[in-house]
């Protein structure tokens, strides 16, 4: 089995299909930076669906079993169901998921499901129109995302909900969000992370997951929940359930890093392989692919990168921040 320097297998591939987005979340693509004059990737730079399929096969040959489409906003990529259908035909793939802001799900959920998509994770940070409108940078209304969640459920997709938590921004409304949406799907609360170079991260704006759970429980606090076993080895969220069986996941990359089990590789929209969400650079797979590399050559290239991998950024965060920040790839580029 292929493992990296810390004995971690390669199991999960997250594929960014575009760096564009129809929102400008302040913690990801702040409008001041990603404005009208921002140079998004020209179409010719993006991997074609044939190229994504070929590279996905390479990763599956090396042990990957889960694929996740992300971005930017993956539903903006034209003909996305065609890509899903190609990926669903790859022998060995057990799970195809997509992380999305949900806005276009009413339009595309049925076609994506029919093409073979298993699950979506839909991101929504608040049900308060003012708070959500501010956080998404474009004043979009949260009901549009809720409509997307409902469209995904109606289409028969598995659904989870992601919420990024920022102190003083959306933390006051977390319990309202939980009470309103817990009957629809499991909610997962993500500690605000220092991804990219522009989101103004600082430790004071992180709400530790323990505090989030206490807020969700209302008067009973965290005691309103019981822990539930992980769904699979290396799962990023720790699971908890309330007495009615509603599930909440806590993604505590800042206060309780999970690098020890990290089996995730990331492929950017231009075909660069990144071995960590916080990487400063990646390995170009597109150039050898377009130069006619054989399947074996591509496999050797990816296997070599994984075998040399020693990333554990979240565990080292304190040391790195003290030593001064280094440039990181943008979240919208690498996919979340």
Say which DSSP state 224 is in: G
317 is an interface residue for ligand GTP by CB under 6 A: no
213 binds, among ligand GTP, ligand SF4, ligand SAM, none (CB under 5 to 8 A by kind): none
193 is an interface residue for ligand SAM by CB under 6 A: yes
Query: Closest by alpha carbon to 176, among 121, 126, 241?
Result: 126
**Binding letters toward ligand SAM, positions 34-73, x by CB under 6 A:** ------------------------------------xx-x
Residue 67 burial (CB count, 10 A): 26
The helix-helix angle for 105-115 and 80-88 (nearest 10°) equals 20
Residue 107 burial (CB count, 10 A): 12
Query: Closest by alpha carbon to 58, among 243, 327, 318, 295?
Result: 295
Between residue 273 and residue 332, which ones bind ligand SF4 under the rule CB under 6 A?
276-278, 311-314, 332
Q: Tell me the two tokens of residue 222.
A: 């965290």
Max intra-chain CA distance, the chain: 62
- The side-by-side arrangement of strands in the sheet containing 247-251 is 225-228, 238-242, 247-251, 187-191, 158-165, 119-123, 95-100, 66-70, 12-16, 264-267, 272-274, 283-284
In the complex, least distance from residue 179 CB atom to ligand GTP, rounded to whole angstroms:
21
Nearer to ligand SAM among residue 105 and residue 298 (C-beta): 105
83 binds, among ligand SAM, ligand SF4, ligand GTP, none (CB under 5 to 8 A by kind): none
Which residues, at least 6 apart from 202, have a Cβ–Cβ distance to it below 8 Å? none
Kindly report the backbone phi and psi dihedral angles of residue 11, in degrees, each rounded to the nearest multiple of 5, phi listed first. Answer: -125, -25
314 is an interface residue for ligand GTP by CB under 6 A: yes
In the complex, least distance from residue 186 CB atom to ligand GTP, rounded to whole angstroms:
9
152 is an interface residue for ligand SAM by CB under 6 A: no
118 is an interface residue for ligand SAM by CB under 6 A: no
Residues at the annotated binding site for [4Fe-4S] cluster?
Answer: 21, 25, 28, 259, 262, 276
User: Which residues lie near ligand GTP (CB under 6 A)?
Assistant: 68, 97, 99, 121, 160, 162, 190, 235-237, 251, 253, 262, 264, 277, 314, 336
User: Which residues lie near ligand SAM (CB under 6 A)?
Assistant: 21, 27-28, 70-71, 73, 99-101, 123, 162, 164, 190, 192-193, 195, 199, 331-332, 336
């Amino acid at each position: 089995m292929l493992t990296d320097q810390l004995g971690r297998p390669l199991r999960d591939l997250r594929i960014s299909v575009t760096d564009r987005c129809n929102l400008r979340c302040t913690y990801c693509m702040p409008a001041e930076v990603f404005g009208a004059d921002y140079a998004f990737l020209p179409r010719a730079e993006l991997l074609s669906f044939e190229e994504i399929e070929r590279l996905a096969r390479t990763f599956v040959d090396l042990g990957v079993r889960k694929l996740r489409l992300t971005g930017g906003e993956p539903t903006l990529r034209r003909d996305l169901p065609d890509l899903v259908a190609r990926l669903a035909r790859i022998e060995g793939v057990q799970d195809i998921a997509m992380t999305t802001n949900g806005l276009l799900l009413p339009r595309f959920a049925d076609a994506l499901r029919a093409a073979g998509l298993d699950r979506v994770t839909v991101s929504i940070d608040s049900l308060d129109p003012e708070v959500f409108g501010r956080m998404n940078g474009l004043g979009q209304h949260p009901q549009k995302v809720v409509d997307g969640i409902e469209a995904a459920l109606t289409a028969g997709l598995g659904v989870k909900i992601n919420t990024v938590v920022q102190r003083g921004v959306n933390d006051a409304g977390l319990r309202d969000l939980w009470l309103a949406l817990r009957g629809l799907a499991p909610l997962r609360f993500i500690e605000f992370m220092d991804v990219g170079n522009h989101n103004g991260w600082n430790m004071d704006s992180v709400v530790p997951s323990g505090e989030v759970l206490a807020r969700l429980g209302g008067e009973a606090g965290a005691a309103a929940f019981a822990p539930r076993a992980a769904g699979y080895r290396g799962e990023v969220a720790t699971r908890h359930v309330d007495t009615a069986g509603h599930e909440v996941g806590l993604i505590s990359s800042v206060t309780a890093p999970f690098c020890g089990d990290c089996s995730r590789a990331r492929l950017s929209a231009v075909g660069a392989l990144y071995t960590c969400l916080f990487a400063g650079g990646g390995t170009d797979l597109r150039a050898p692919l377009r130069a006619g590399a054989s399947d074996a050559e591509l496999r050797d290239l990816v296997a070599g990168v994984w075998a040399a991998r020693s990333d554990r950024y979240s565990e080292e965060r304190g040391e790195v921040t003290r030593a001064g920040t280094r440039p990181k790839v943008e979240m919208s580029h690498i996919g979340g």
